[in-house]
A = this chain, B = another copy of it.
Amino acid sequence: MVRVGILGASGYGGAELLRLLKAHPGVELVGFSSRKHEGRPLSAAWPQLWDERPFASQEEVLERADVLFLALPNGLAMGMVPEALKAGKRVIDLSGDYRLPPDVYEAWYGIPHQSPELYREAVYGLPELHREELRGARLVANPGCYVTAATLALAPLAAMGALRGAMVVGLSGVSGAGREGEGTFFAEVNENLKPYKAGGTHRHIPEMERNLGRLLAQGKPARTHGEVREVRLSFTPHLVPMTRGILVTAQAEVAGDWSQKALEELYRGFYASEPFVRVLAGLPETKGTYASNRVDVKPVYEERTGRILVFAALDNLVKGMAGQAVQNLNLMLGLPEDTALPKEGVWP
């Protein structure tokens, strides 16, 4: 039994980690921390949990665990990871700290990087593209919800070298904004729908471009620190009045002639052996992935215009966050990749 711990267990990502790791047969949850709730029982912060164990301090969790999940705001992991690695721990970081080259990170996040040298060691935690690298990783940079959806939507076209650009529309439930977010009051969100950070300003854009640029340069599988070709995306996120779920609707700009048949063959082939990616006959809907680690994908060729659209749906807190982190854990530990991860959702 591997000893695992969670830093940042009072956010929604932390809650999903708790749910998944408590039911994981290969690990022992030895600690979880939250500054806000330290010393209080888990059930006081989380009404869904029947568990009176107290939140520990970060120090206690760091000491007890062999594998650490960092579910902290951006900018905190980079200060802790060096010591944790030195102490022989392995780390799965759910923040943006190790997902981008430090200079790009600093440009988009506005935070000076405290351990840029470790970026070279971090493995990008998207199992569908980086599975082999992840098996031996000590430090995993776990991608977020929009990026996972957009990357998996466009990856087959990128890996074959056809992708030239894309306009990505992202639609997200509110839980992606976290448990403390402003502007997430029910009365303001319910019966409302709004774009935000339009105009190419969302900080997940460089990560999407990097993921697809790696595939363009390297094909699949891609190495985190291998060659990257330049590609430019538009990405426009929208807030939708629901709690969970991400849908990406992408228009792919591609080279070559296409048909619905060719597209489907490409996608079915690309994801043929993936345990968590389903290429649908129909169109994806977010509820089909609710509380599961699955992604539903569908490419559509539009005869009238020659355009290619791709849709991808997932649960932003599972495959878009905590479930992906557990998938990475399973790879790191050499366990079956789907251990403790549901492939099927809760409906209705």
Enumerate chain B residues within 8 angstroms of A343, measured Cβ to Cβ: 50
- Secondary structure of the A contact surface, majority rule: loop
Give the interface of A toward B (CB within 8 A). Answer: 12, 15, 19, 22-23, 46-51, 165, 167, 169, 171, 173-175, 179, 181, 184-196, 198-200, 205, 232-234, 236, 238, 240-245, 247, 249, 251, 278, 283-292, 294, 296, 300-305, 307, 309, 311, 313, 342-348
A234 touches B249 (CB 8 A): no
Number of copies: 4
Question: Judging by beta carbons under 8 Å apart, are B242 and A344 in contact?
Answer: no
A241 to B189: give the CA distance in the assembly, Å: 11
CB–CB B309/A234 < 8 A = yes
Q: Contact check, A234 vs B247: say whether CB atoms are below 8 A apart.
A: no
Q: How far is the CA of A278 from the CA of B46 in the complex (A)?
A: 14
Q: Which of A19, A48, A184, A199 has the most CB of B within 10 A?
A: A48
Across the interface, which residues of B come within 8 angstroms of A47, CB to CB?
285, 287-288, 296, 347
Please give me the residue from chain B that is nearest to A247 by CB atom. Answer: B193
CA distance in complex: A302, B168 (Å): 13
The 6 closest A-B pairs by CB, nearest first: A194-B285, A47-B288, A48-B345, A192-B287, A187-B348, A48-B347
Taking a contact as CB atoms under 8 Å apart, the answer to whether A309 and B236 are in contact is yes
Contacts of A171 in B (CB 8 A): 171, 193, 238, 240
Q: Are A344 and B311 in contact (CB under 8 A)?
A: no
Q: Quick check: B193 and A240 within 8 Å, CB to CB?
A: yes
Q: Is the CB of B51 within 8 A of A194?
A: no
13 A-B pairs whose Cβ atoms sit less than 8 Å apart in the complex: A47-B296, A48-B288, A48-B289, A171-B240, A174-B187, A188-B348, A191-B244, A191-B245, A194-B287, A195-B247, A232-B304, A234-B307, A240-B241
